[in-house]
Amino acid sequence: MGERAAIWAARRLVRLLFALPDGLLAKLFGRPPDTAPELRPDAWAMGRVVSPIEDSRTDWEPVASRRTTEFLAAAVGRPVPGVTIEPRTVEGDGRRLDALLFTPTECGPSGPLLIHFHGGGWVQGSIRSHRSACAWLAAGTGVRVLSVEYRLAPEHPFPAQAEDALLAWRAVAADPGRFGAEPGRVGVIGDSAGAQMAAVLCLDLKAAGEPQPACQILIYPVTDCTGSMPSRETFGRGFYLTKARMDWFERCFVPAGEAADPRVSPLFAEDLDGLAPALVSVAVADPLRDEGVAYGEKLAAAGMPVTIDHMPMLHAWFNLIASRSSRKGHEVLAQRVNQLLG
């Protein structure tokens, strides 16, 4: 079977699964566990389907992992009408990063913009794997989204990702009109590892004495690469993202002895005063849940405006727009974005 045919078949299976009514899904896959009883039926069904495969894996290879990620993204994605997608670049420090600009058709010549950093454990994922999710985000919010490619580990471990995030931010800040952005209404958003990058970007801008983004939107962020939070164990198997997988990602990304560096683990930053207003959106059954909540609470303790949403889903819901629960999650996300960006 060719790749196109395989993607078509996988997409049909995904849509068939997620088209089943909640009651039937509950009968087929049972009730969610007591550790996360609020999980939506389609989210729990996904966990039951994919976890036997993920839980059995103990080693990965970056190139093969990237191919699998792109394949799965194509299978769970969905066409999004009403959004124009254009290739762009961001440049600085003698380097150039590829990007995609998502513009809702009703947008005027200038307005708010979100700079997006994709998830994938700093090892996999791309602006292509997150194409459907970013288009859905743009359509739901009416806000332009600039999704930026960045260097991946292990070929490029920390601090390459932080450097690329800062490059992208400064390129947009220097010429917002090129991206249809209104000065002062540019925020940052990321999912998983991309959320870690968005959080670190805000810390780096504070350290450099540069203006903060209009907001930081952190979707199931990695904030503690020491792996000390209980949810790493509680949801380490059986819920799609595994502890073993996170351990591998962090071995690829984090230089030896630097796991507690605040630019690796933002939770260990001592001074969070003056950072951008934040949304921290965690999935209730996710190894990263507790560290996301802890970072949101630490921002709030520092006096920063922050909202913490507990979404009744698994890790990666931002990308899984074929499911009802993910689309509902995007509705909540759109409301938060519009509140933060006006």
Indicate which residues carry an active-site annotation. 192, 286, 315
- Beta strand spans in 60-213 (E): 83-92, 95-104, 111-117, 144-148, 181-191
Please tell me the distance from the alpha carbon of residue 32 to that of residue 37, in angstroms, as a whole number.
Answer: 5
**Alpha helices of 254-323 — where are they, by DSSP H?**
289-301
Using the 8-state DSSP alphabet, how is residue 319 labeled? G
Please tell me the distance from the alpha carbon of residue 342 to that of residue 112, in angstroms, as a whole number.
Answer: 8
CB 99 within 8 A of CB 146: yes
Query: Six-digit token pair at 267?
Result: 């939770």
Helix H or strand E encompassing 284 = strand 278-285
Please tell me the distance from the alpha carbon of residue 67 to that of residue 71, in angstroms, as a whole number.
Answer: 6
CB 157 within 8 A of CB 123: no
Please tell me the distance from the alpha carbon of residue 56 to that of residue 79, in angstroms, as a whole number.
Answer: 32
Query: Which of these, 76, 87, 188, lies nearest to 132 by C-alpha position?
Result: 76
